[in-house]
Structure 1
Amino acid sequence: MSWTADQLDLIGRSDELEILTRRWTPIWAVTTGGQVYVRTWHARDTGWYGHAVRTGRARIRVPGLETDVTVAATTERRAEIDGAYRDKYARYGTGAVGPMVADAAAASTLLLSPAGAAGAR
């Protein structure tokens, strides 16, 4: 299943996406090439990131959309994803965006895909 244009717009316009693995956690997310990507500046086995990687699934929400997703690690399209982070979050400055486009964060990139019929709220 693919993201719809409306879903990508909702996610793209939202400053943060909330991800639920054990509890709702706000994180930065970008859309590019019809896909949704998230990263963590500090990958670890605990917290939302570790749980999402272990289970391969999560639930996400932004205003107007809440849906289950599959989660897959990816190293593809790094330059494009880095650029999307820089463009979307530039207003926070390089001190905030820099860690999200560093090698360690890029290595933590996750591709989020709709798990089934996506639900709008």
Structure 2
Amino acid sequence: METAWTEDELRRVGGAEELQVTSRRADGSLRPYVTIWVVRAGDELYIRSAYGSDNPWYRRAKASGSGRIRAGGVERDVTFADADPAVHAGVDAAYHSKYDRHGPAIVGTVVGDKAAAVTFRLLPRAA
């Protein structure tokens, strides 16, 4: 069951440089964590697969639908939900604002139409 992010969680996770994400196996155990970028757009948190839908962590997260994140001192179980297409411009802007200092080659992997197709909205799950 999903809940809502607290303002503190949004600030801490959304402000973290990196996020660690893992998905659940069929038996409920967690896979090893993968480090990726995370952005806050409005009152939601989003992650994207930098190298498309063939990225192993993305495929596993899509298949399982749930996992866990940790960033900014917050650790929460989450649901990986498809993002509403209406948010993609805002998510792109959040990635640019937060990560453009890394250069266009790397930021280009997480913005635009291809990245929009591999975007998850992170929904916190009840403890």
Shared fold, TM over 0.5: yes
SS state at 1:77 partner:
helix
Whole-Å Cα distance in 2 between the matches of residues 20 and 33 of structure 1?
24
Structure 1 residue 16 displacement after superposition: 0.5
The answer to whether residue 103 in structure 2 is matched with residue 101 in structure 1 is: no
Which residue in 2 is equivalent to 1:58? 67
1:49-90: CA deviations, max 9, x gaps? 111111110100013111100011123311100000000101
Structure 1 residue 93 displacement after superposition: 1.3
TM score, norm. by length of structure 2: 0.86
* 1:29 aligned residue (28, 33, 38): 38
> Is the deviation greater in 29-38 or in 42-51?
42-51
Whole-Å Cα distance in 1 between the matches of residues 11 and 117 of structure 2?
25
Gaps of 5+ in 2: 24-30
* 2:9 aligned residue (7, 10, 16): 7
* 1:78 aligned residue (80, 83, 88): 88
Count of aligned pairs: 117
Which residue in 1 is equivalent to 2:124? 114
Whole-Å Cα distance in 2 between the matches of residues 100 and 87 of structure 1?
12
Where does structure 1 differ by over 4 angstroms across 4 or more consecutive aligned residues? Answer: none
1:26-71: CA deviations, max 9, x gaps? 0011011100100012233562111111111010001311110001
Whole-Å Cα distance in 1 between the matches of residues 67 and 102 of structure 2?
27
SS state at 2:79 partner:
strand
Gaps of 5+ in 1: none
